[in-house]
Amino acid sequence: MDDRAHNSGHLMLITPERVFYAGLLGRPRERCPGAFHIYVALRGGLWLTTADGREAYGELVAVAPNMRHTIASDHRSAICITIEPESVPDGTFAQWERRLQGFERDVFAQRIRTAYETLLTRSRRDDIDGAGLDEMCFGEALPRRALDPRVVRSMMTIGKFSGEPVTAASCAAEAGLSASRFLHLFKQETGISFRSFRAWKRARHLLHFANQDLNLAHLAQDIGYPDSTHFSHSIRRFYGLKPRAIFSGSRDLAIYSSGDGAIAR
């Protein structure tokens, strides 16, 4: 078992379509992530305020993708599960938000806390895929969205994070389409604009390195940000925290990537 997870109880499992995080929540500032978020209290409750005027308090709260919100906890740490919107069919989040906020809420909260305890004591965590994580947390795998192979290829290209910016024009050329036709296809298939998808995935990729001692300016360049200012503004918009605050609060966080082995040893 990773000493960081053993000593702090803080861990993060990253798969291409899911993230399971148990750790510090950070100061309650507005954030607007690009994925469906499920927050579960480890102790006490959670306070949620959304940009559309919703306020909630409880052991479990859920927020739709691209919804500006503020989350605060009675306890310093909490669990957060993220589900990427392109991975499930349209309507899935609305259905699951109703279930998570309905009479099953306490059952789901306890199941997710049990999944955390299982992950904390498990000898391996890098062999769990998105469906396996769904089973642990919800008792069933969420339905999968079928995507056009040309869109899948463009998503894989974006996910390489080679440092060179991936453009709609280059993805369109690879798909054998005009730029306008490709952008329409991408939005139609994923429900997300190409630009928004690329921005969120770039910010999400930062999570893989959050517990490492890195030069943030170099990291920003490596994952495709044009400059440090753009990097800082983007991360703060998605996570409600500056990059330096994220790295500072993640020193005792054990990070695992499904299929790639543990990043933190």
pLDDT for 162 equals 74
Burial class of 166 by CB neighbour count within 10 A (0 to 12, 13 to 18, 19+): buried
Please check the confidence at residue 6 and state whether its pLDDT lies above 70: no
Q: pLDDT of 204-261, one tens digit each?
A: 999 999 999 999 999 998 888 888 999 999 999 999 999 999 999 999 999 999 854 3
Q: What angle do CA 200, 210, 86 make, to 5 degrees?
A: 25
Q: So what's the pLDDT on residue 92? A: 96
**pLDDT surpasses 90 at 197:** yes
pLDDT top residue among 2 and 127: 127
**DSSP β-bridge partners for residue 69:** 31, 50
> Per residue in 71-104, pLDDT tens?
999 998 999 999 999 999 999 999 999 999 999 9
Band of residue 5 on the pLDDT scale cut at 50, 70, 90? low
Q: How confident is the model at residue 149 (pLDDT cuts 50, 70, 90)?
A: very high
Query: At CB < 8 A and 24+ separation, what contacts does 177-180 make?
Result: 177/150
Q: Give percent above pLDDT 90 in the chain.
A: 82
Confidence label for 161 from pLDDT (cuts 50, 70 and 90): confident
Q: What is the pLDDT of residue 156?
A: 93
- Contact (Cβ atoms closer than 8 angstroms) between residue 14 and residue 22: no
Predicted pLDDT at 187 = 97
Whether the pTM exceeds 0.85: the reply is yes
At residue 56, does pLDDT exceed 90?
yes
